[in-house]
A and B are shown apart, each in its own frame.
Chain A
């Protein structure tokens, strides 16, 4: 790997251990976003008329049944894919292909198999990070996700959960304006998952970037997010095409009490929205507003 020593201007902020300026976090706006894939069996509309505004530094969780278009939505924001209609703005400007203001932790870890975990995490560092600082930051990030002891291992030598944590560390290394997490804790065991959720909250508290988190875990969404977006097909005329069905604002400051009664209330509501009967009948309309 070659590093240019000339770009110290960028790295002076990147190496600052203190919380970076909140200005780094970018607001995200999706307006009328539609995406249809061409498939052998004809066009397959996945997203249609999707509107969503996310404030800078906000944590928004997206939930929805599998295959409803959550990853597709995330890809629009990352500039990995472009909508057929509508626009995606980051900090007021259109998202660019492979937008450098974002960092994605993909649904699959997508680590380079021939690199050690440490070198994979280093890939996420902003270009031009000096060698010693790069080493320091990689070590710190690996420690953060509990992989210090596995820094020198290759991806195929570690478990799926460890690979996923390395992938998360790689995304964090970027210090992005918008952090995009696609089911980042899906492959983790229950205990590690709780620990990683708290880790994410710590990282966010020390450097409040905008986070768009895809999950299928309602509890996780309620524990982590300021707002939870339920993605589902709305329009009977375009079957299969998903849009924002409802947005729930989660009460309480983080870190939240996982046993909070208000959360279990919302949990029942979200599961209901996902079509899972919970046999829970209390309803508080204040916490819920449809779009």
Chain B
């Protein structure tokens, strides 16, 4: 480690590993429910276990590559992170939001969660992988924008390389495509079409671009 601010990556990696364990545990619950249909029913129905499983997967992947960006961008740009404080703050915002969301999934019926988080004001919940309450989604946008800003400022005021430029394109895509999760028309066909923009353009379009820039750095 050549730069002190690289150490914020540690927080992100630790949480990513923790969330990975959560993902695996709930994956095992679902696996058991496939074989023993009534396992944990009605306490943890399959759909609830599945939300915890897939959502913790999404968050640990995001945390993992945010941590990786905080680790490698200083070396690549040859300067300290623009704001290590912002990186730490956003880590806690993200972790607390994720934890509260999981507690919400497990402690009350989903419809109740939708009601107390005001889903009727801006209905975005109840679509595959986009089950998070609208307020959590807003949190994800804030975290993604702060991440983009922090990495962007570091990159643009430091040494620019192929790696950082590809990374930045990926991060802009990360922030932009997630915005489609707020678009939920009554027309099911349109809904599914733009759902796909988030789910698949995120994973196959944007995340893989980000990860490609990392592998190049190695």
Q: Is the pairing of A and B real?
A: no
B contact set with A: CB distance below 8 Å: none
